[in-house]
Structure 1
């Protein structure tokens, strides 16, 4: 297998986490990083041993040696940056939320298909081994017939600019609520009959915390909670008529406990050792490139669009509007 030269657009904390990840991976090279500030890019490149540092995103995208570009800018910028990558035939791993709204997501994916360029959403939980194990346990009937799911995610991040500003597509939903929606989708599927929700908005008009309930046509129900004010336990519980699964940290599952109908823990499944957990999405992107795929089977384009539409519907019901809408 060839060594893939990775480029990163953006130099924030999430870019640093990806840089750390790449340093521990095989068949990848920390090749180039770009910022709107050349000085910031050079500092980042020096700290994380990247070969190239660019003072504009366009320069990195046009570098002929870059094999895959990871987009680590705010949600509001994903559309333009991914679009530029596609128009320059550069494969894209785009951080979640994929775009600010479903219209942008559909435009991007149609463009990628037209230009035959690989692109996938970097929603890391979709690619993790333990996420696959959870599905296997349910399909094998480990908890009998599943009926309810609860999941929460919350971090104290209300002071972060990218979270509170509508023009950056801020709010709890696109940053962390998206994980609860994906957890429910990976576990209970997409056959949703009804969705109800309520949110408490910030002074800037974005969603600060919310409760979302999904009702499925087969009788299942998912209760989801996200907050930018509270550090929650991040637990997920999937309950059936013969037991339940307890997932430690739905954002980066560390263990899954299987509990029987007598409330006895009968098995514990642990996540394999990881660098950060980001490596799985990078390896999935490389797998797709090696096979000539335009999307990853772990996060199909149709699922990205479906969840973006779901979040659009939620924001509309809350009156949370972005300038790009």
Structure 2
């Protein structure tokens, strides 16, 4: 893809922002011009590492930078709402890292402001744009596995017993749901194109009050189901299987989208392998830049209404577990 170079700013130069920036600077379509952090010296170090022209210790000053067209927000989960609002109200387009917000109410507020301000806003659900996931969706649209009836998807890892870590801190939105579970939940939304009509779930709530792991059965009517598992204190296989009436698709380690395999009765397995050298965050950035060049205020790949609906589904799950942030 090529076109007018888009100028980026990054708010919150943490680990996820470092991965995003390392991809972004490889794009001929993008330029990282500014970085902001409330921690003294952190933005300057990040800007130096990625050759950004300016760094800010104040978000107020950062959003007034006239060169910044779009902001990637990689702050901690509970800060997303405040940061997105600050950018939108300054007229900056926004690509906000998942989870978009802490709950559906916050998501609804941000979407309302973006639409009222006629300003681009998108959730950074990077997996949607990975070539292997795109290939799987192409196979489905081409009818290669017939009608999709069942999905299984897992994403989990074991952070160990670290009660002081962000992942187990309830005040910081820790737990499986927002850090890991959102991926299979969003993937189910992508595959079925809607939210479940019925949800059955179970979660392990640990000593720090967060969901350490959970399982959920989503029902969509007509026998269609998604079985989803996630955890931050439980290592899982992290594969996804999409089962149709005429075959199935296997996405090993689906979150990272390195390969996709099409299985059809009586046919050899068709394999797609992604040999990219970058992390893969570049694809969501390219989508956001494409939207900006075309004058769009949201992406058709990750629509704002779907982001809001996914947050409502996650609220339903937390309500079943009695979990409030």
Measure, in 1, the Cα distance between the counterparts of 2:210 and 2:229.
Answer: 16
What is residue 289 of structure 1 aligned with on the other side? 292
- Partners of 1:191 and 1:217 within 8 A in 2: no
- TM superposition shift of 1:113: 0.7
Comparing 202-211 and 128-137, the one that deviates more: 128-137
2:322 to 311, 319, 322: 319
Gaps of 5+ in 2: none
Number of residue equivalences? 321
Q: What TM-score does the superposition give when structure 2 sets the normalisation length?
A: 0.94
Equivalence for 2:48: 46
Cα pair distance change 1:241/1:115, threshold 3 Å: closer
**Which secondary structure does the structure 2 equivalent of 1:192 belong to?**
coil
Cα deviation code 1:79-102 (max 9, x no counterpart): 000000011000000000100010
1:29 is displaced (CA, Å) by 1.1
Alignment counterpart, residue 173 of structure 1, candidates 153, 177, 182: 177
Query: How big is the shift at 1:120?
Result: 0.3
Out of 200, 203, 210, the position equivalent to 1:199 is 203
Q: Which moved more, 1:295-304 or 1:127-136?
A: 127-136
In 1, Cα distance between equivalents of 2:234 and 2:294: 42
Shift of 1:191: 5.2
The 1:125–1:115 alpha-carbon spacing in structure 2 relative to 1, beyond 3 Å, is same
Match of 2:107 in 1: 105
Offset at residue 129 of structure 1 (A): 3.0
What RMSD in Å do the two structures reach over aligned CA positions?
1.6
Q: Is the 8 A contact 2:115 2:297 kept in 1?
A: yes
Confirm whether residue 91 of structure 1 aligns to residue 93 of structure 2.
Answer: yes
Q: Which deviates the most, 57-66 or 103-112?
A: 57-66
Question: 2:131–2:257: 8 Å Cα contact kept in structure 1?
Answer: no
Q: CA deviation at 1:265?
A: 4.4
Partner of 1:17: 19
Deviation, structure 1 residue 137:
1.3
1 CA distance for matches of 2:58 and 2:208? Answer: 30
* 2:228 aligned partner: 224
Counterpart Cα distance in 2 of 1:305 and 1:50: 33
What displacement does 1:219 show?
1.8
Deviation of the 1:305 alpha carbon: 0.3
Select between 146-155 and 97-106 the one with higher mean Cα deviation.
Answer: 146-155
Q: Give the alignment's TM-score, normalised by structure 1.
A: 0.94
Residue correspondence of structure 1 range 141-160 to structure 2 within 5 A: 141-157=143-159, 159=162
Match of 1:36 among 38, 41, 44: 38
Q: Tell me if the contact between 2:122 and 2:288 (Cα under 8 Å) persists in the aligned partners.
A: yes
Name the SS for the 1:197 alignment partner.
strand
Give 1:63's match in structure 2, choosing from 62, 65, 75: 65
CA shift, 1:68, in A, is 0.8
Q: Does 1:243 align with 2:236?
A: no
Q: Please tell me whether residue 139 in structure 1 is matched to residue 122 in structure 2.
A: no
Matched, 1:82 2:84: yes
Q: Are residue 273 (structure 1) and residue 266 (structure 2) matched? A: no
